[in-house]
Amino acid sequence: MEEFDGMEGFGGQDRLPRRGELIDAKVVVVDDRGLWLSVGSTKYDAHLPIEEMTDDLAEKLKNGEIKEGDTVKVVVSGIKRDPNEGTTVITVSQKDLYRREIVEKLLRAKEEGEIIRVKPTKVEPNRKGVIVDFGYDVRGFIPASQLDTRFVPPEKLDRYVGRNMRVKVLRVNPRRGDAVLSARAVLKDEMERRKKEFFEKTKPGDIVRGRVVRVTDEDVIVELEKGVIGKVPFEELDWRPIKNPQSFVKRGDVVRAYVMDIDPETEEIKLSMKLAKPNPWEKFAEKYPVGSQVSGRVLKVTPKVLVIKVGNVVGIVPRSEMTWKKVFNPEDMFKRGDYVKAIVKEVDVDNQRAVFSIKAALPDPWENIEEHYPVGSIVEGEVKTIKDFGAFVEIGDGIEGLVPRRHISWKSFENIEDVVKVGDKVKVKIIGIIIPERKISLSIKDAMPDPYKEYKKQHNKGTLVKGKVKEVQDRGLVIELTPDVDGFMPLSQVSKDKVENLEESFPVGTEIEAKIIGFDDRGRLVRLSRRVIEEEKEMEEVRQYIPQDDDKPHGSFKLGDMLEDLLNNKGE
């Protein structure tokens, strides 16, 4: 590569020089307008005007540093003969010499394909490229299409002014003193050279660097060298799943990648960014073996699993491992962003799968269960689930027991929901524990006094009571005496008179006054009679109208005695 900073010497001659000839001339006269030079034999003199001097020589002349006898290299620019005087005046120039030298070097660079260094000085007036000033009226032009590997738009031309560039010479016009240059040719040659070197030295398993040039719908395009393109499939971006690749990497990002496959013939390169990083799963498995306790951040909550992040690893907590509770709503217990402690249950490095247990990091509520909840004790709990066969009640954190249907209530019912509902706070009695099966049997009704027995204690046979018709049956009426105690009035005890239509005469909800005539312990019913009350009332009315004669013999007939005996016999 040659720099345009000097000229090669040319030998002087004693003959009359020709126009365009290079000569070494001696200074014979120094004046304000220039120099008079001897160009061979003494009869030929040449004049070098100041305007044709180089800046360096003109500065020396101004400073008085030029003296007679000094040698100056010039080019003959003109020869004038004066026939009258018989003299010949030769005009010479230093600038033409340098201009000629520059053009020759440009021609040589073009022929040899040599690369030269230039620095553009301005943008071409029509903004079609940039101008390079070689000096001495020699200019170079770099079209916008030759400034880079791609066409440079007019608005971006200014950024190339003042930039050091390496170019090749495409064309030279010696007469006009201009040349067309190309940086693109240099860049393309270098690109091809680097591309060849890249494919020669790069092999699968190598780590390379590149710049992201585009993100498509399937992969990330990375430029490893000018003209060398590799592709990173989305699944190879990172060890963790990337939902939005466009936000994970952006155009212009510099990335490291692992060469998975490379084909010099097709120039196809498959890359992996994740393989260029340490495998977080291997590190995790080494640092946290199964059974280790870890802390993780909740990323997602679903009814079946929690997704948590522990370090650089994402794993799951199955529903069965979230809590010791049997009935719960994960969304009520966990929120995205929560930090939880968990035990490592499983790590599969090859399949990138990790399973954690939150409940294993908590105390087991079944330890010493019989000490905390001895059989026979009464505790308070919350109804969590209702099934046809019973209700599940939580009596402690992670401790649930079953209240069988027969232990729900002392009174009869069709639907459990008619007695208790999910969310109700209830008192229960612990009636059994099976530790190996983690089962507890509970009773709601045994946690309270038997309402039937309490009622029986407080009400004797013959007591007058009130109630409401709860149900009309073919054989009698079911009477609700209290919310927990029912009575039954047989059809024969409804009235002393014949009742044609029991349902019409005593619709559900009718308030009835009756007398207790007995107790059915097996059926847990109080036997009632309305007829007894009617007959007693009738007997009382008879007594008011038929006087009793205590003086008559004992064998005599008494209507009152007869009625009283009759009533007593029917009440038994």
Please count the structural domains in the chain: 6
Query: How many Cα atoms sit within 13 Å of 459 on the Cβ side?
Result: 25
Q: Is the pLDDT of residue 202 over 70?
A: yes
Percent of the chain with pLDDT over 70: 91
Residue 11 lies in a domain: no
548-553 — which CB contacts under 8 Å span 24+ positions? none
Residue 567 carries which DSSP code? H
Q: Which two tokens stand for residue 143?
A: 């079209």
Question: Are residue 108 and residue 150 in the same domain, yes or no?
Answer: yes
Residue 318, SS3 per DSSP: strand
Question: Are residue 481 and residue 564 in the same domain, yes or no?
Answer: yes
Question: Are residue 348 and residue 393 in the same domain, yes or no?
Answer: no
Residue 314 lies in a domain: yes
Determine the average pLDDT of the residues in 360-386.
90
CATH code where residue 537 lies: 2.40.50.140
Q: How far is CA 124 from CA 142, 186, 393, 481, in A?
A: 9, 21, 89, 112
Cα-Cα-Cα-Cα dihedral of 11, 14, 16, 17, to 10°?
0
Residue 454 lies in a domain: no
Beta-bridged to residue 71, according to DSSP, are 26
Per-residue pLDDT tens digits for 322-338: 998 877 899 999 999 99
Residue 148 carries which DSSP code? S
Instruction: Report the distance separating Cα 256 and Cα 387, nearest Å.
Output: 59
Per-residue pLDDT tens digits for 87-121: 677 888 877 888 888 899 999 999 999 999 999 99
Residue 223 lies in a domain: yes
Of 30, 60, 93, which closes a domain? 93
Q: Is the pLDDT of residue 547 over 90?
A: no
Radius of gyration, CA atoms only, the chain? 58
Residue 13 lies in a domain: no
Per-residue pLDDT tens digits for 50-69: 888 877 888 888 888 888 88
Instruction: Report the distance separating Cα 441 and Cα 434, nearest Å.
Output: 9
Question: Are residue 142 and residue 218 in the same domain, yes or no?
Answer: no
Q: Is the pLDDT of residue 11 over 50?
A: no
Question: Residues 420, 381: contact at Cβ < 8 Å?
Answer: no
Question: Are residue 89 and residue 122 in the same domain, yes or no?
Answer: no
Of 188, 217, 232, which closes a domain? 188
Helices (H), 291-352: 330-333
What is the per-residue pLDDT for 255? 95
Cα-Cα-Cα-Cα dihedral of 463, 469, 470, 474, to 10°?
100
At residue 28 the predicted structure's pLDDT band, cuts being 50, 70 and 90, is confident
Residue 455 lies in a domain: no
Question: Are residue 214 and residue 183 in the same domain, yes or no?
Answer: no
Question: Are residue 164 and residue 247 in the same domain, yes or no?
Answer: no
| DSSP E strand boundaries for 397-463 | 399-404, 425-434, 439-443
Question: Are residue 466 and residue 441 in the same domain, yes or no?
Answer: no
Question: Are residue 475 and residue 567 in the same domain, yes or no?
Answer: yes
* Count of Cβ atoms closer than 10 Å to residue 15 Cβ: 10
Min mean pLDDT across 212-221, 392-401, 543-552 is at 543-552
Residue 387 lies in a domain: yes
Q: At what angle do helices 559-571 and 531-545 cross, to 10 degrees?
A: 170
Question: Are residue 89 and residue 106 in the same domain, yes or no?
Answer: no
Question: Are residue 124 and residue 180 in the same domain, yes or no?
Answer: yes
First CA to last CA across the chain, in angstroms? 137
Per-residue pLDDT tens digits for 140-155: 999 999 999 889 999 9
Instruction: Report the distance separating Cα 118 and Cα 458, nearest Å.
Output: 120
Closest CA to 233 of 225, 279, 241: 241
Cα-Cα-Cα-Cα dihedral of 274, 280, 281, 286, to 10°?
150
Domain of residue 231 covers 202-276
Question: Are residue 477 and residue 569 in the same domain, yes or no?
Answer: yes
At residue 372 the predicted structure's pLDDT band, cuts being 50, 70 and 90, is confident
Residue 520 lies in a domain: yes
Beta-bridged to residue 386, according to DSSP, are 391
Of 276, 291, 326, which closes a domain? 276
Q: Is the pLDDT of residue 9 over 60?
A: no
Determine the average pLDDT of the residues in 399-409.
93
Residue type, 80: K
